[in-house]
Amino acid sequence: MAMQSGNLLRNHGRFVTSSMEKKEQALKAHEEMTSTEEPHQEENTAAEEARDAEGRVEKTDGNGISTSSAYQIAASAASYLQSHTKSILHFKSSKFMGNENLPEETGEIENNVDMINQDVASLMATTDSVTAVVSAKEEVKQAVADDLNSARSSPCEWFVCDDDHNATRFFVIQGSESLASWQANLLFEPIQFEGLDVLVHRGIYEAAKGIYNQILPEVHTHLKSHGERTRFRFTGHSLGGSLSLLINLMLLIKGEAPVSSLLPVITFGAPSIMCGGDRLLRRLGLPQSHVQAITMHRDIVPRAFSCNYPNHVMEFLKAVNGNFPNHPCLNYQKQLYDPMGEFIILQPEENFSPNHHLLPSGSGLYLLTCPETDASKAAKQNRVARAAFLNSPHPLEILSDRSAYGSEGTIMRDHDMNSYLKSLRNVIRRDLNHIRKSRREHRRKVWWPLVTPRGFDAGVLLSRPIISGNKGQGQFHFSGLLQSGKESFKRLSKLVAPQHMHLFVVLWFPARWLIFGFCNLINFH
């Protein structure tokens, strides 16, 4: 099914291209070229390809399995189990796993035994899959890295569209939906980023290299068309957010785009993928606000690589993979990767997902900030507050809850792209209503005395308080670092629309819908 640009940005922008459109064009060109060849040329080509394939036969282990195949099997197992496992019971329930002492009444108990066997088997298989990837030989991981670099196995689809009013080109990268995305996620060992003294998640970095090469022509074309007015906005959900961040930085480091053209990156529910990311921003002359990481209050994905790892997990990683023993984040912070940039917490309505105990009640966007004048002290307090939030709840606590799994589980609820979309819309709608009500009250205060008879006390009618956006504001402070979520719309406006630019909130839908769009909002001064 081809993407119809008429359905995209019908009134608010212009669709340019997408990874799916590129693939379709490449396939059509290949078919046309093949159809024009002579039969004997086709035979010769097929023979040459066969000989090339024989020459590229990968090294196999003693069992005759190729190295990349072994990795793909592990990734396939993890992907399958993640999509099919509905619940995982505590290990204490494994007392039913033996069949020798089962009572005669086998009805409900036998069903429990089957379910427990399946759950424990799923847990063990998933653990074995991750272990196989982490401890794989270098040739296996390099084969997967090469695969992630290629256009045919890119883990995420991407979309490009333009706002011609301000010469801004938007690059939107979707989240994890394919086997290739599992390959990228599982290859999480640290390697150097662009030859600098900063470590990055290897799998996501390799995937970013592949997408970078695909979108670079779109960057060059836009720069040529608009010159100094050119602006680029990168954004994405989940894995797509992490890829957007890396590609944005790569354009600057490689000198393909000037710093003035790169607007802040906005990510939604993206995992942390760098150790020393804030240091890299300073080195590149970028403010911390260049990365706006929006995180749902209970989303497990942003916590996955940034929570405190138990000692036995740390020792295991160091023992099976040579890149972990000297990993500074693991050694000094007990985590794989640091969050970077500004950390913004999105709390939805309580009837959708329970409020976080470290946040005030009510929905909003909350920014972790520090009033401390000393920069080093402020950074330290921010790190402490961020760590407290990311470990509460800890990913292991989320995974131990049986209600976390399945299409209706809490993991899907708090990470799904549609949850972010719905929650942001509710926050924007609430704050817009608050702004309109404030303006109405202001107009009444200004004009009412001019039209009322002398001696009439207008204050009697105007004494009603303006409704606050959140309940309990000012009564709770998260380590003294939580900036109120009352004016979330203003905050979102500043993130997305600096310097009085038209406000566009980039929202997208899964690839299976083949549609994404912008929500065009009013200018707010």
Domain spans, the chain? 138-431+474-520
* Contact criterion met (CB below 8 Å) for 431 and 488: yes
Tokens of 152: 């045919």
Cβ-defined contacts of 317-326 (< 8 Å, 24+): 317/134, 320/131, 320/134, 320/135, 321/134, 321/135, 321/189, 323/189, 323/190, 323/191, 324/189, 324/190
* Antiparallel, parallel or unpaired: β 274-275 and 265-268: unpaired
Which of 121, 117, 274, 271 has its CA nearest to residue 193? 274
Q: What is the pLDDT of residues 423-480, one digit of tens each?
A: 999 988 888 888 888 888 888 877 766 665 554 443 333 333 322 334 333 333 454 5
Q: How many Å apart are CA 508 and CA 519, to the nearest integer?
A: 10
Q: Is-contact 149 209, C-beta < 8 A?
A: yes
State residue 71's pLDDT score: 56
510: nearest Cα among 125, 319, 238, 111: 238
Among residues 299, 338, 414, 416, the one annotated as catalytic is 299
CA 352 remoteness from chain centre: 20
At residue 434, the pLDDT reads 84
Q: Which of 520, 490, 519, 516 is nearest to 240 (CA)?
A: 516
Chain center to CA of 25: 28
| pLDDT score, position 123 | 47
Q: For residue 136, which of 325, 321, 326 has the smallest C-alpha distance?
A: 321
| Cα 212 off chain centre by | 17
Considering the entire predicted model, what is its pTM?
Answer: 0.73
Sorted by sequence, the CB contacts under 8 Å of residue 368 that are 6+ apart come out as 342, 343, 344, 345, 382, 385, 386, 389, 478, 481, 482, 483
Catalytic residue, from 222, 415, 484, 488: name it.
415
Which of 19, 238, 363, 488 is catalytic? The answer is 238
Known catalytic residue: 374? no
Question: 138-431+474-520 belongs to which CATH class?
Answer: alpha beta
Full DSSP string of 242-256: HHHHHHHHHHHHTTS
CA–CA distance, 161 with 9 (Å, rounded to integer): 8
* Cβ-based neighbours of 359, under 8 Å, separated by 6 or more: 297, 345, 347, 366, 476, 478, 482, 485
Q: Which amino acid is at 458?
A: A
Supply the DSSP string of 230-287, one letter for each residue: -EEEEEEETHHHHHHHHHHHHHHHTTSS-GGGBPPEEEESPPP-EESHHHHHHHTT--
Verify whether residue 299 is a known catalytic residue: yes
Distance CA 121, CA 478 (A): 41
Give the burial class of 207: count Cβ atoms within 10 A of its Cβ; 0-12 exposed, 13-18 middle, 19 or more buried: buried
> How many degrees, rounded to 5, is the angle at CA 63 between CA 61 and CA 69?
65
Q: Tens-of-pLDDT digits for all 525 residues of the chain?
A: 344 444 444 445 689 999 999 888 878 887 878 777 655 555 555 555 544 544 444 444 444 445 555 556 556 655 555 555 444 433 333 333 344 444 444 454 445 444 444 444 544 555 555 666 666 667 767 776 777 776 666 788 999 999 999 999 999 999 876 666 767 777 889 999 999 999 999 989 999 999 999 999 999 999 999 999 999 999 999 999 999 999 999 999 999 999 999 999 999 999 999 999 999 999 999 999 999 999 999 999 999 999 999 999 899 899 888 899 999 999 999 999 999 999 999 999 999 999 999 998 889 999 888 777 788 888 888 888 999 999 999 999 999 998 898 888 999 999 999 999 999 999 888 888 888 888 888 888 777 666 655 544 433 333 333 223 343 333 334 545 666 666 666 666 666 554 333 333 333 333 333 223 333 333 333
In angstroms, rounded to a whole number, what is the distance separating the alpha carbons of residues 221 and 227?
Answer: 10
Q: Identify whether 415 is a catalytic site residue.
A: yes
